[in-house]
Amino acid sequence: MGRGIVPIWFFKKGFLDDYKKFAYEDGSVATKKMKYKEYIKDYIEDKVNENKNNYDLECYLSQVDFEECFPEIVGDITYPAYLDSKPFISFWHGFSTKNFTSASTLHFDRIHNIFVQVRGKKRILLFPPSNYLSFYPPLEDSSGIGHNSKVNPDILNLELFPKFPWEEKIEVVLQPGEMLYIPPFWWHHVTAVDENISLSFWYDVKIQDFFSQKNMLKVFLNIAPHYLYHAISSGESLMHTMNFFKGII
């Protein structure tokens, strides 16, 4: 797999600590493409072994198209048989050191996610969907990402986020060989416990899912007006609307 070309996300130090950056499209994030073996040697091994002292930029191999980047081992993957369609597979390779831990922001996805831990451990915080605005999506300007929350669920802040459902948190540490199903519209925050590899099996939402999956239609109807109003007011209504409904067929 070492010759595969992968996009690496680079973050400025402290990026994931400031919602004014991570919850907006114009935050300080950049991507660079490199061979997978270069990412392992120059970032994973050196960071974990603390061979590099320059921590102005941090990085994460996040949500890579598995079949496109690693065709050599596609045949080694058995697709989970729980949902009756072919999934899109994302590949993740992160790490944790005393200076940086690869993580996602608190967000929801609009499709089914069967998350598989292959190597190392990941800590996942889950919040069942309730009132959309209680998760403080950054809707106040056009660069806000509607499926992101401004809340860092690891830092209790009742002054800034008094309506956030802090007590509804579900915490899971996913071990190698374990799978976790994350339903559409469930908020989640993922953090590396150590150097680790994961796969996400993404499945499109079907119309019938809104009626067979408990509260899914109610949750969607709670989110949609705010999400679409933000899309229209931002002047990018077509793009945001298509993204919001992407995968729903």
CA dist., res. 62 & res. 95, Å (int): 11
Confidence (pLDDT) at 118: 96
pLDDT for 65-107, tens place per residue? Answer: 999 999 999 999 988 888 888 899 999 999 988 878 889 999 9
Q: Exposed, middle or buried, 83 (CB in 10 Å: 0-12/13-18/19+)?
A: middle
**What does residue 240 show for φ and ψ, rounded to 5 degrees?**
-65, -40
At 191-228, the pLDDT tens digits run: 999 999 999 999 999 999 999 998 999 999 999 999 88
Q: Is the pTM of this model over 0.85?
A: yes
Task: Report which of 110, 92, 127 is spatially closest to residue 200, judged by C-alpha positions.
Answer: 92
pLDDT of residue 42: 87
Summarize pLDDT for 169-198 with one digit per residue, the tens: 999 999 999 999 999 999 999 999 999 999
Spell out the SS3 assignment of 32-84: EEEEHHHHHHHHHHHHHCCCCCCCCEEEEEEEEEHHHHCHHHHHHCCCCCCCC
- pLDDT of the residue at 15: 83
Q: What is the pLDDT of residue 55?
A: 52
Mean pLDDT of 31-50: 85
Structure tokens at 20: 């004014």
CA distances from 50 to 3, 58, 235 (A): 25, 13, 45
Specify the higher pLDDT residue, 77 or 27. 77
Q: Does the structure show a pLDDT above 70 at 9?
A: yes
